[in-house]
Structure 1
Amino acid sequence: MAEPPEESSGGLTTGAVARRLGVAPTTLRSWDRRYGIGPAVRADGRHRRWTPRDVAMLETMCGLTSAGVPPAEAARMAREGTGGTVPTTAAAAREQGTGRSHAAGTLPLGDVRQECRGLARAAVRLDAPAVEELLAGAVAEHGLTVAWQEVMVPTLHAVGRKWASSGDRYVEVEHLLSWHVSTVLRRHTRPPAAPVAGPVLLACVPGEQHTLPLEALNAGLGQLGVPTRMFGAAVPAEALTAAVQRLGPAAVVLWAQARSSASLPLAGHVAATRWGVTGARRRPLVVPAGPGWAGRPTPGMPRPTSLREALDILSGAFGGAAP
């Protein structure tokens, strides 16, 4: 039976609360069953309805478990309203070397979709099932492009900023979140199609390891029916040139996250590569992508600033495959 609308005078549904807090709905049901952290109202005796007081109790529960408090103890403190002193106690324990060292602070998200906040909380708690469910839900609700640009990227950036400002803390959060983003993107990537013309070749420049943006682009192009060849991280220049000559691609995307890895000579060399019979020789459209190319002159090479823009450029280069 489908759940009723998310909000009413009777409160929020379990799904709405799960998205708000970054907790899998199954986790909320488990907490209700095991620890009595449940809704005060059940519509028609079946559907859970969470009141503001219920949600506040859940927020306390999430904060306590993120700080390393065992779930049963966290539930007791949340029910009794005594959870406010725990973060200080946990922090003091960490300073003394006796507490858990897992990072559990607030990520600097700014003005973002509510889904980002829930996803960030789940990632900080290292709650893999919730991260997976929230990412899948974002793609299902908003589509791949919007989910990438407005949910995945802001959360990844927030984790990266927190890691950069906290030494080695939060590295496990970034790794877990990146892994699940990659998993969801690949789940929505269609099998490679046999091209009727040259495919779109996707590659990170030599020395570049950040592949998630290319994975999102690969998935998006697949949904548009544009055939691709994904080469992933740190493709050597010689291997890239050989692939271009063998495949005769319609376009080549060169991703560079860092300015130090964005090589203008490499982009120019790929753009000058030609194939085909004399009199009908062709060359690829080269698309430098990523922040590493910012401020660099790339004449004749479109430089997209978003996934949507990249999809428009590349589907057009392939022959207008985009709807």
Structure 2
Amino acid sequence: MSDAAAYGDVTHGEERGEAQAATEAGVPLTTGALARRLGVSPTTLRSWDRRYGIGPAARADGRHRRWTRQDVAVLEAMCRLTSSGVPPAEAARAAKDTADTPPGTAEAYVRPPTPSPSKAAGTLPLGDVRQECRGLARAAVRLDAPAVEAQLAAAVEQYGVAVAWQEVMAPTLHAVGRKWASSGDRYVEVEHMLSWHVSTTLRRHTPAPERQGDVSATGPVLLACVPGEQHTLALEALNAALGAVHLPTRMFGAAVPVEALTAAVQRLGPSAVVLWAQARSTASLPLARHVADTQWGVKGARRGPLVVLGGPGWSGPSTRGLPRPHTLPQALDLLSGAHRSESTGERP
């Protein structure tokens, strides 16, 4: 069980268990109880009822919604379909048609054709992206942690870390960030939850250090954010992708002090050092050149690392002589070449 799922069980397990028991006993559920069971907000259920006609078959006193077992089956199908990227209107139609069918007969709806770029996922500005981005965005906006976790894991399993980051995780994170920036601090909770689950997924798919190769012959790739830089997700993605191709790494994470970074370089003798700067205010060329000039080894055979600049923060200053890959695949190619060159005694 994931940490997120375990936390959900601790905080809402009793309510969900009661809702499950009530449904199985044939007792209609209130909107609040059903929302807790499905992991969505009551507002979402009311909106689906109003927009798509997915509502309760009966209402107590003509006003209050009461959801029957059949209603719950339709809503569960709706949640599964929207979480897999199906547009809500299409998912509503499919949920009504397939809720009573045996498992597996609605498989065609689980992997629908890629929608046109004009169709938006929820309220996020996604544009022309993979189908998986749309499902991930909808789950994130609903704060549906189990669905977010399942979508991320499925993307990594199907495409690998590099493609999943480049074409599923990063576009969705960027869309959330743009929405946050343009909506007066709304959606902050969406960004925080999505970022946490992305980080968790990346770490779960990072091979253990002992499986990343022998670091005694060739130094590892050292990954660090520059001082003052707290954004680590892209570095975590690169760390996982390097592990997947069996390159040894040492991840130091956010805001590494200059003295600590220099000491780590001298102790590890890395084949390369990746310095991440998300903002121009944290990017420091003097620091990058200081790291590049750091050497180790006996006199007459001293060596230094290849310093690679990562992140949009480096777009302003002149980075002559210091490679700056713009995508994760480019960084993988560059660092793989540096590692091979180090093992053969050549420089890339």
TM-score, length of structure 1 as denominator length: 0.71
Report matched runs for 1:71-220 at 5 Å: 106-193=123-210, 194-195=214-215, 196-220=217-241
- TM-fit CA distance, 1:37: 5.3
Cα distance, 1:249–1:50 mapped onto 2, change above 3 Å: closer
Residue aligned with 2:273, SS: strand
Residue aligned with 2:124, SS: coil
One-letter code aligned to 1:39: T
- TM-fit CA distance, 1:320: 6.5
Structure 1 residue runs of 5 or longer lacking an equivalent are 1-11, 56-103
Cα distance, 1:320–1:132 mapped onto 2, change above 3 Å: farther
> What residue number does 1:230 align with?
251
Q: Can you list the C-alpha shifts for 1:275-302, whole angstroms capped at 9, x where unaligned?
A: 1111110000000110000132222211
The root-mean-square deviation of aligned C-alpha atoms, in Å, is 2.8
One-letter code aligned to 1:206: P
- TM-fit CA distance, 1:169: 1.0
Residue aligned with 1:259, SS: coil
Query: Which sits farther off after the overlay, 136-145 or 208-217?
Result: 136-145
Residue aligned with 1:318, SS: helix
Of 307, 318, 329, the residue aligned with 1:308 is 329
Of 256, 264, 271, the residue aligned with 1:250 is 271
> What residue number does 2:105 align with?
48
TM-score, length of structure 2 as denominator length: 0.66
Q: Can you list the C-alpha shifts for 1:192-245, whole angstroms capped at 9, x where unaligned?
A: 144021111000000000000000000011111111110000001111111111
1: distance between equivalents of 2:223 and 2:108? 48
Cα distance, 1:19–1:226 mapped onto 2, change above 3 Å: same
2: distance between equivalents of 1:265 and 1:119? 40
> What residue number does 1:283 align with?
304
2: distance between equivalents of 1:164 and 1:281? 48
One-letter code aligned to 1:137: A
Q: Can you list the C-alpha shifts for 1:119-176, whole angstroms capped at 9, x where unaligned?
A: 0000000000000000111111111111100000000000001111112211100000
8 A Cα contact 2:280 2:316, kept in partner: no
2: distance between equivalents of 1:155 and 1:199? 31
Q: Can you list the C-alpha shifts for 1:31-53, whole angstroms capped at 9, x where unaligned?
A: x9xxx9561673xx55332898x
Q: Which runs of 4+ in 1 moved over 4 A?
A: 14-18
Residue aligned with 2:105, SS: strand
One-letter code aligned to 2:225: C
Cα distance, 1:243–1:208 mapped onto 2, change above 3 Å: same
Structure 2 residue runs of 5 or longer lacking an equivalent are 1-76, 113-120, 343-348
One-letter code aligned to 2:85: R
8 A Cα contact 1:201 1:252, kept in partner: yes
Residue aligned with 1:298, SS: coil
8 A Cα contact 2:176 2:191, kept in partner: yes
2: distance between equivalents of 1:226 and 1:105? 39
- TM-fit CA distance, 1:317: 0.8
8 A Cα contact 1:22 1:121, kept in partner: no
> What residue number does 1:298 align with?
319
Identity of aligned residues (%): 69
Question: How many residues are matched?
Answer: 248
